[in-house]
Structure 1
């Protein structure tokens, strides 16, 4: 069969891949969109949509158990994990259907199969239903994402370990869930399953949870997890895992004070993600990868091969859906606006969906110190925010890093009720290049959580550090 020619080939369907092929087709381009699995990428199928759906169920269970604190009488709370799973599946199915509906566009062909490069402008597709197709295009966009990293510890291949996808398909609660990894994935699942009713142990190889964050953030997060009954082990390196005589799992970890064994019913590996690049055969196109297998791109998202771009998680860096969407903005400008947009200097916020949420944007206190910046640090406990007191959500704090010379906000960290939403207000002030006094003097509706920003940024609350 002769090669089929397209204007653009997009490989993979993440958040950015959800919009770019449609826009290109609407602009008159002939576009091939290739997907080897379910449309929607990680976010829709195994990331944001399903996990946050299950987080909501876990939070409701937690709140129900606190009913007595609010003067309510209810019976014992139990969790039907199979029902939680079905709610999650329905949510994913709906999101996937909405996604697929967008792809019904003249000029856009959805091809189901696995793509691999056979040259700089040529892609061969192993079709899901059998056979192959060979496509060529002057522009190719790689959007294949990542997958959970398997643990490289003794015995891992001999037992059934969970990852961030398979754990959401459990129909019965683990008696004792052991989690490898103290990043945001491990913490979200750890708190979720503790609230569902499982015993949970988090094993973190680094000295702290959420290592990129300031120590006060890490310590506060660990404290709130321990308050909920989660065992948190830090500086604990997993060495091997094995099946016990009783059918459970035994994890051996190395700690500063010696070796320790942790026994549980299930082990979740949440130690990061690796790029989906092997099957692509990028070397056949001359596409450079970094030492971890991620595709290298310039500030315009172009790879080492002119006309070949990468977007989303497969290019490395922070793995957030909103960043993938911003990649779409950059490529939309380049491919349709005929202007080279850039990812240089963009501010990347994120939220860890533990409860209370942790929202972060911009520079941390530690990063400011590493850059020898002269800053002022404002910090306010959530227990000083009226709305938090009224709702019984007083755990955590707001924190902001301010340039001592200009008064501009360099960054913020909010661990508290709706911490991501509060962080976003600060982010908008940063985008507008406003001084901190703009928030200190703003009139916020009483009593909202946002009203705490008045106090956070009040001059008397800012010790010079």
Structure 2
């Protein structure tokens, strides 16, 4: 006998929980099924716990570097890693508890802990229960992937989740993967006091970014004492006594790095392979993402996919926007989609890298006439006063419409400052109509109009 609901939400992540709340307020009877912990990646193994760890790392760095501000600490800082982990757990746990309390307090919503699996397009089973609904909303998130790394069965290794549970500082942490997740942990553990080496298969860190951004970020990390090995042709792990040999096969430097711990940060994959989606007729792409329309409907129109499992963005903010799009279309008579969503994200190294819109490389690929403005962070009063002058600002503009095409800010408070540029893009207004307001001094944002006033034609590269 099946239990009947108006809607079933599979996964209590950053899209599923608020969507359940909206459906509850609309009078729907809803089942929210979660097989692990409510809150999704962000609350449990992503944004919230990692940024709590970044904050502890920043505190250690400030104490260690205090002399640059004229403060002499009584001794070199000693990081109490168990205390750092406990702080992270409190913050993450409180957030998770608040989400669960929220869900359990929703009218007409039942939170079911267990593993959902489709048996037909309108039915799932959960620990012996059979549940049916007119509509399904899948928000199951993703997990770490390990493409192209050999020897994983021969040695112990860490993921972005398990590294946040270790209780002693690594002697030497080797991070395989020089992109967003890997670099945050690499800098973090260096500031805790570990030796750190980053091994990146490609020729540059953060390959999605422009070369000048990647080079500036690399210099920041090297200046802090991190070892960076790019151009690793073949990455293989092997035992080396009580430690781990990471064979990198690079052209420069030793052919292997010996570490006490290895973090594999080479990508993520969606949690879609054990949901019985084939029984529901839901199509997946080659990466395992659920194929969705602009309105986030799958190949089966009454089944939607939101968040990391749909391949349309893998951030908390894009997951939340997925919820907004679906809710507006279902209940507000809207016809919203995600196709026009402006790319926006940040890498939380210190200083952070904030990005919106198109990169310089992408602008060049369009062939359109464009303008570019840049300024080093050393020209920003706020950065100078805080003693954190590394990085730069880069803004790209359409030469004809004066629309902002994209921007990168690698520098202190750049993740906050860039938001005003994002608002201009979303408003679809020329920058010179909306960037003339008086801005607070001293802030990073106050330099953005100055950068735009110095725009020059984007010149062809030497090899173009």
Say which SS state the counterpart of residue 28 (structure 1) adopts.
Answer: coil
Looking at structure 2, the residues matched to 3 and 440 of structure 1 have their Cα atoms a distance apart, in angstroms, of: 58
Q: CA deviation at 1:235?
A: 1.2
- The equivalent of 1:72 in structure 2 is 71
Q: CA deviation at 1:390?
A: 1.2
1:197 equivalent to 2:198? Answer: no
Which of 420, 426, 429 matches 2:424? 429
- The equivalent of 2:114 in structure 1 is 113
Which of 370, 379, 382 matches 2:374? 379
Spell out, residue by residue over 1:159-205, the C-alpha distance to the aligned partner (whole angstroms, 9 max, x if none).
11100000000111101000011110001000000000111111111
Looking at structure 2, the residues matched to 115 and 340 of structure 1 have their Cα atoms a distance apart, in angstroms, of: 30
Say which SS state the counterpart of residue 138 (structure 1) adopts.
Answer: strand
Spell out, residue by residue over 1:209-262, the C-alpha distance to the aligned partner (whole angstroms, 9 max, x if none).
1111111001101110111011111111343211112x0100111224698111
Say which SS state the counterpart of residue 332 (structure 1) adopts.
Answer: helix
Spell out, residue by residue over 1:369-402, the C-alpha distance to the aligned partner (whole angstroms, 9 max, x if none).
1110110110000001111111111100000001
1:140-155 to 2 correspondences below 5 Å: 140-155=136-151
- The equivalent of 1:234 in structure 2 is 230
- The equivalent of 2:203 in structure 1 is 207
- The equivalent of 2:90 in structure 1 is 90
- The equivalent of 1:167 in structure 2 is 163
Q: CA deviation at 1:414?
A: 0.2
Looking at structure 2, the residues matched to 391 and 381 of structure 1 have their Cα atoms a distance apart, in angstroms, of: 15
**Aligned CA-pair RMSD:** 1.4
1:360 equivalent to 2:361? Answer: no
1:60-459 to 2 correspondences below 5 Å: 60-74=59-73, 75-103=75-103, 104-126=105-127, 132-245=128-241, 247-256=242-251, 260-438=255-433, 441-459=436-454
Gaps of at least 5 residues in structure 2 are 460-464
TM-score when normalising by structure 2: 0.96
- The equivalent of 1:37 in structure 2 is 36
Looking at structure 2, the residues matched to 362 and 174 of structure 1 have their Cα atoms a distance apart, in angstroms, of: 38
Say which SS state the counterpart of residue 209 (structure 1) adopts.
Answer: coil
Q: CA deviation at 1:147?
A: 0.4
Looking at structure 1, the residues matched to 435 and 90 of structure 2 have their Cα atoms a distance apart, in angstroms, of: 44
Q: CA deviation at 1:406?
A: 1.6
Q: CA deviation at 1:439?
A: 6.2
Looking at structure 2, the residues matched to 140 and 464 of structure 1 have their Cα atoms a distance apart, in angstroms, of: 47
Cα 1:439/1:192, change in 2 over 3 Å: farther
CA contact (8 A) 1:10 1:17 kept: yes
Looking at structure 2, the residues matched to 95 and 353 of structure 1 have their Cα atoms a distance apart, in angstroms, of: 20
Q: CA deviation at 1:440?
A: 5.6
Q: Which moved more, 1:60-69 or 1:332-341?
A: 332-341
- The equivalent of 1:13 in structure 2 is 12
Q: CA deviation at 1:338?
A: 3.9
Looking at structure 2, the residues matched to 311 and 179 of structure 1 have their Cα atoms a distance apart, in angstroms, of: 30
- The equivalent of 2:462 in structure 1 is none
CA contact (8 A) 1:379 1:462 kept: no
Q: CA deviation at 1:208?
A: 0.9
Q: Which moved more, 1:448-457 or 1:76-85?
A: 448-457
Looking at structure 2, the residues matched to 175 and 82 of structure 1 have their Cα atoms a distance apart, in angstroms, of: 16
CA contact (8 A) 2:138 2:305 kept: yes
Q: CA deviation at 1:307?
A: 0.4
Say which SS state the counterpart of residue 283 (structure 2) adopts.
Answer: coil
CA contact (8 A) 1:203 1:238 kept: no
Q: CA deviation at 1:25?
A: 1.3
CA contact (8 A) 1:363 1:411 kept: yes
Q: CA deviation at 1:151?
A: 4.8
